[in-house]
Chains A and B, each alone.
Chain A
Amino acid sequence: MDRRSFLTSTIPSSGSGRVKTAPLPPPNGGLAPFTGAWTENEVIHLLKRTLFGVTRADINYFRTLSLQQSVDELLNPTAPLPDLPVKEYTVPAGATNPDTNIAQGSTWVLDVNNDGTVNSLRMNSFKKWWMGVMINQDRSIREKMTLFWHNHFATETGTIGNAQYVFKHHLLLRTYALGNFKALTRAVTIDPGMLVYLNGERNTKSAPDENYGRELQELFCCGKGPGSQYTEDDVKAAAQVLTGWRNDAASISSYFDVKRHDTGNKTFSAFYGNTVIQGKNSATAGDEELDALLDMIFATQEVAKYISRRLYRWFVYYDIDSTVEANIITPMADLLRANNYEIKPVLSALLKSEHFFDVLAKGCQIKSPVDLVVGTCREWQVAFQPSADYLTNYGFWSYLVNWANNMQQSIGDPPDVSGWKAYYQEPQFYEVWITSDTLPKRNQFTDTMVQNGYTFNGKKLFIDVTEFAKTLPKPEDPNVLIDDILKLIYRIDLSAASKNQLKTDILLGGQASDYYWTDAWNVFINNPGNTSNTTTIRNRLRDLIKYFMNLAEYQLA
């Protein structure tokens, strides 16, 4: 079948059970720059993949820029790092070390406290804050990349157990989000949180702990692909290189203790060119040997390919066949190495490529729970409280953290060091997110947000459907209204017949004439105090939007 007839055909209907189709080819084209038209469709595609959800204002903004300018802007955040998480919790009486020294509304991140209750409250505070940061994201890729690195260098707050370490680790990912992969790996290796999580702080010459030395290669740098040929001896040798690093809770930092360091030479396999890292015994031995280790690992092409595949699955699609491997992954890896593992050049090439904008690459991501939750708040422009009312906002963010958790994505606590299965589990990948348990929860979440909302501290978190509709260019025309909403929220359009049916059934209440909606909308705008008419408008919009969010199309990005 040629490409054109292929694209115009549809997946055949089927009775029950899985639809069996021939394997679909992944998107076409290579990393060459996309030269097609830069239309609204392309803008939305780019933004859905690089932001959490897209608003009409975002689209209008980027439409004034070229594709090159848009990607450059997304890759170069100008907003400062967000304000730090604050104390919004109440420490129950009976805590042995309540943080009474920290005022409500002040940040706790630099306050050392080892009380279990306080730490637990702070880790929740961190998760709420993070949700808030994602919802308040600027027009940059930073939040998607921060979450990418959290999935890549996965840690669990429950295991780290120290909220100050948890936040410091998070800040590291955020700071390096668009920086140098090799430098980030170095920083992560001796990050206090990671030293706890993968036992690096307990890795000594007398009792080597291979945990980090293994994951550094298996999960963080080389992966498990056919080209990854490191050996069990390499795991042992890497662990030896990394002996001696310890944490100091009082200063929320790590340090190198040469007395615990294995000062012998470390010999690696042919995969690493039989490198021998000379053992050292100075105070700087830990740093020097770590640099040597990472120089050695990052000298392999496989590291560049592995992280390219990870980026590809995060931003494009999960299916990497030999064509994608040859046309996309390999050139991405070359770019990474040519730029000494800087992330921006390779992301820039990918996001500007003909492959990224291929029709086959559009709409094929199943939203992660975070993408669904944050995107729902952003796309429908859900209003939060002014920042002074941080108590209410943290309560709202907490609610959203819980929902994402219910749908199996707990920020701060991925299932294990491998991150979320959706980004590595073959052959399902993204489809892992959608189960008979999580799909009804996704629908329940959107239903709740558009119906009763969530009341906390006397304030309500909900999708204000009329305020949303007012942001659209022509809400008085039911056809344009439906088109404008769907353009924003779906990547696969509904058929004209379906749209007409929904317009008639829901917006027109069964009437044939569009002017019934138009008249009611105009009355609403000119006389919002007419409560019965306002209720009519609000309820019909609510039912329409609820219906849209319940269709499978809403789960795709």
Chain B
Amino acid sequence: MKRRDFLRKSLPAGVLLPSLVSGFSFRAFGADADIMQSLMLPVTETDHVFVIIQLNGGNDGLNMVVPIENFNSYVNARQNIYIPEKSLLALNGKAGLHPAMTGLKAMYDKGHLKVVHSVGYPQPSFSHFRATDIWMSGSDSNELVNTGWAGRYLNYEYPNFPNGYPNASMTDPLAIQIGSSTSLTLQGPAVSMGMSISNTSNFYNLINGIQDPAPNTPAGKELTFIRQISQQTQQYATVIKAAATNTVQQVSYPIKNSLGDQLKIVARLIKGGLKTRIYMVNYGGFDTHSAQVDSVDNTKGAHANLLMNVSDAIKAFTDDLKFLGVDDRVVGMTFSEFGRRIKSNGSDGTDHGSAAPLFVFGKNVLGGVLGDTPIIPANTTVSSNLPFQYDFRSIYATILSNWLCVNDDDLQQIMLKNYQVLPLVNAGGCKKAVNLSGDMLISNYPNPFVTSTVITFTTAGGHTLIQIIDTTGRVVANLTDKEYAAGTYTVVFNGESLPTGVYYARLQNLATQQVRAMLKLR
């Protein structure tokens, strides 16, 4: 079926086209009119970018943002690794940054850094894998969610992706992860909403056209051939390469700092014109069970080096964004899967803990410190952990609402529950329209729904499956599973007996699939 035919048939069934409401009937224009095409594009789009910095391993928040207010208890709990008070970079008199973080201190002084104390969630997990999945999915501790919070956001903003992408209104990747594989953060209900650029070989391949060595054998010849085709056909290779080439001059970044290397690429791509919304980078080594400080000088050592690199990299990135004239558009955040135990262990390290501070940074950040300095018990035991003050999902909800401009009504569909919005960023200038470009193959009406909703789908013919999936990925209903002639059809999903919450309607038509998020309300 042609795209136009599809629009003609499916729009009356309740496709969300907010711009149609203002007095014009769809029929009056006719599906072929140019204005229809323009209506399919976003009206005004925010150009905001969000950068997520993952600190792998569980960062020791207590030695990064040291509680000056409770310094004696802090020293008492960490006699072998505490950071001396006089060396701290004081923030608000109540807490101080690790002395290695001079770059971030300078940003704080300018009001470009928000320090959020004690971010966590109820019943924290102490497993790297599980805690990382919780942070990336935005799930409760005892709940499995197999999509990422940013993936759900991108699926909300670009509901038809990847069918019909890239297209004129979105030429670029929706999200870019620097690394080997896209993380759960960017996983949408059907497909990953991001693309990854490996920082070992693929990225440099892409940007600089460098080949990995292939053996000089017939096998190497064929491998080289396939790699070349692969580079030519990576869906977004051309636009990424063009963006990277567009940016010719940048400020200098710290050397031997892999986080800086990654952020330098991000700045280059933002300035180069990519409309990509989300970038994700990561930096590892924070699992400091032993020797996290120098045996002579606690302000030095492994953890100090990590923090220095984080600080230097973010500072250089921020300076670069200003130099490139795009600092208005970018906000970033750090996170780690957990903080570390209050009490240090006998090997000059710290074991897995719970809540920890995180940073939100950028020109449009409301600078300062959010929350109370963590209280440290006078007599800590090995099982003492910091309680959380802010749920990490409130940070996400705030970014989505105030920075990525998601309508309040739609926040719950992305975050799966309601979370408080915090004073983190300047919320002015948010305008938003859902981007309906691409090929819409499945939709539902009404949405949200209370008992049932009508699902409209378009099949190219052949075996077609419509299933309803919950947020854990469990199939709760197969609405149809049979051969169809090409065309547009409807099926009714009756969700009366199901709990309220988010469900996904998935179309599978041979090699094609598309997923629509639906919200069931009371």
Contact = CB atoms under 8 A, between A and B. Distances in A.
Nearest to B469: A452
B218 A360 contact: yes
B476 interface: no
Q: Which of A430, A511, A512, A547 has the most CB of B within 10 A?
A: A511
Interface string B211-239: 10111111111111111111011010000
B513 A452 contact: yes
A91 to B, nearest CB: 13
B463 interface: yes
Interface stretch (B178-186, B397-405, B495-503): B178-186
A531 B227 contact: no
Nearest to B282: A510
Contacts of B56: 509-511
B132 interface: yes
A502 interface: yes
B128 A15 contact: no
Interface string B183-224: 010000011000000101100000001110111111111111
A552 B234 CA distance: 12
A26 interface: yes
Contacts of B227: 552
B66 to A, nearest CB: 25
Interface string A141-161: 000000000000000000000
B511 A436 contact: no
Interface string B284-311: 1101000000000000000000000000
Interface stretch (A184-192, A285-293, A342-350, A538-546): A538-546
A399 B219 CA distance: 30
> Among B209, B217, B223, which residue has the most Cβ atoms of chain A within 10 A?
B217
Contact of A402 (B128, B215, B478, B511): B511
A492 B201 CA distance: 16
A292 B513 CA distance: 58
Given A406-B511, A435-B229, A510-B57, A533 B209 contact: no
A444 B235 CA distance: 12
A472 to B, nearest CB: 20
Interface string A497-535: 110011011100111110010001000000000011101
Contacts of B191: 451
A533 B129 contact: yes
B375 interface: no
Nearest to A553: B223
Contact of B219 (A15, A21, A364, A458): A364
B146 A364 contact: no
Nearest to B241: A16
Contact of B129 (A444, A457, A516): A516
B229 A436 contact: yes
A536 B129 contact: yes
B258 to A, nearest CB: 11
A363 interface: yes
Nearest to A1: B216
Interface string B112-144: 000000000000010111101100000000001
Given A512-B287, A552-B226, A364 B129 contact: no
A445 B146 CA distance: 21
Contacts of B5: none
B218 A361 contact: yes
Contacts of A110: none
Nearest to A14: B211
B458 interface: no
A540 to B, nearest CB: 7
B216 A6 contact: yes
Contacts of B220: 10-11, 492
Interface string A14-31: 111011010010110000
Given A16-B209, A512-B57, A532-B130, A10 B214 contact: yes
B216 A9 contact: yes
B296 to A, nearest CB: 24
A123 to B, nearest CB: 16
B510 interface: yes
Interface residues of B, number: 59
B222 A430 contact: yes
B213 A511 contact: no
Contacts of A361: 218
A554 to B, nearest CB: 9
A305 to B, nearest CB: 22
Given A436-B232, A506-B180, A512-B57, A317 B132 contact: no
A536 B337 CA distance: 14
B54 interface: yes
B467 interface: yes
A346 B282 CA distance: 56
Interface string A102-136: 00000000000000000000000000000000000
Interface residues of A, number: 80
A328 to B, nearest CB: 14
Contacts of A26: 218
A532 B179 CA distance: 24
A455 interface: yes
A319 interface: yes
B209 A14 contact: yes
Contacts of B229: 434-436, 439
Contacts of B125: 532
Given A26-B218, A319-B218, A498 B467 contact: no
A364 B465 contact: no
B133 A532 contact: yes
B163 interface: no
B510 A506 contact: no
B345 interface: no
Contacts of B508: 452, 454-455
Interface in B479-522: 481, 506, 508, 510-511, 513
Given A402-B511, A491-B219, A535 B211 contact: no
B180 A502 contact: yes
Contacts of B216: 6-7, 9-11, 21, 24
Nearest to A10: B213
Contacts of A456: 463, 465, 481
Contacts of B285: 512
A444 B106 CA distance: 47
Contacts of B215: 7, 10-11, 492
Contact of B510 (A21, A399, A431, A535): A399
A19 B225 CA distance: 8
Nearest to A433: B226
A436 B234 CA distance: 9
A535 B133 contact: yes
Contacts of A552: 223, 226-227, 230
A513 B57 CA distance: 10
Interface of B: 54, 56-57, 125, 127-130, 132-133, 144, 146, 179-181, 184, 190-191, 198, 200-201, 209-211, 213-230, 232-233, 235, 282, 284-285, 287, 463, 465, 467, 478, 481, 506, 508, 510-511, 513
26 contacts: A7-B217, A11-B216, A13-B211, A14-B209, A15-B209, A24-B216, A26-B218, A360-B217, A363-B222, A398-B463, A399-B510, A406-B511, A430-B222, A431-B225, A434-B229, A440-B233, A441-B511, A448-B511, A452-B508, A455-B465, A510-B56, A511-B287, A513-B287, A531-B144, A535-B146, A552-B227
Given A403-B511, A456-B463, 10 more contacts: A11-B216, A24-B221, A26-B218, A360-B218, A435-B229, A436-B229, A509-B129, A516-B129, A536-B133, A556-B226
Interface of A: 6-7, 9-11, 13-16, 18-19, 21, 24, 26-27, 317, 319, 359-366, 395, 398-399, 402-403, 406, 430-431, 434-436, 439-441, 444-445, 448, 451-452, 454-458, 491-492, 497-498, 501-502, 504-506, 509-513, 516, 520, 531-533, 535-536, 539-540, 543-544, 546-547, 552-553, 555-556
Across the A-B interface, the 6 shortest Cβ-Cβ residue pairs:
A510-B56, A363-B219, A364-B218, A552-B226, A10-B213, A536-B129
